[in-house]
Structure 1
Amino acid sequence: MPQTHITTLPLHTPSGVLSRVRTALMTALTRHRERQRLAHLDAHLLRDIGLDPQEVRRECTKPFWQP
């Protein structure tokens, strides 16, 4: 008895461009949120994680699209 192989397509396949745009937006949003949280840490916590206030200011003033 011959076996048949059925291939199914996924219900939703994002196009390459849309997928890259979505990924870029999510990355920018995450970067923005992380910088906001970093900006609110006090000096004691910054020392605990090995950062100085100048580094934090420099990082937090970057635009969201800049890594």
Structure 2
Amino acid sequence: MHETVIAKPRSLPTKIATGARNLARLIFIRWPQRRRQRLQLLEMTDERLRDIGIEPHQARQEASRPFWS
């Protein structure tokens, strides 16, 4: 026979800790990655952007986005 395991709902402190980890990951890992990638888009020539399927105006729009989006 198999035992059925019922997961307990996560407590508020656990949810807060998870949210804090996600925020820290966003700020310290994702933000610099996104900034670097968006700056690289701005450095690319129009021809190279089109080679990867991006129009120059799309690259400028992407580079101007805030880090959290």
Give the TM-score taking structure 2 as reference length.
0.63
Q: Give me the identity figure in percent.
A: 29
Q: Distance in 2 between matches of 1:21 and 1:34?
A: 20
Q: Which residue of the partner structure matches residue 22 of structure 1?
A: 24
2:68 is paired with a residue whose SS is coil
Q: Which residues of 2 match residues 1-67 of structure 1 at below 5 A?
A: 16-25=18-27, 26-66=29-69
Identify unmatched segments of 5+ residues in structure 2.
1-16
Offset at residue 36 of structure 1 (A): 0.6
RMSD: 1.5
Offset at residue 21 of structure 1 (A): 2.8
Offset at residue 16 of structure 1 (A): 3.3
Identify unmatched segments of 5+ residues in structure 1.
1-14
Q: How many residues align?
A: 52
Give the TM-score taking structure 1 as reference length.
0.65
**AA paired with 1:23?**
R
Larger Rg belongs to: 1
The structure with the greater share of residues assigned to helix is 2
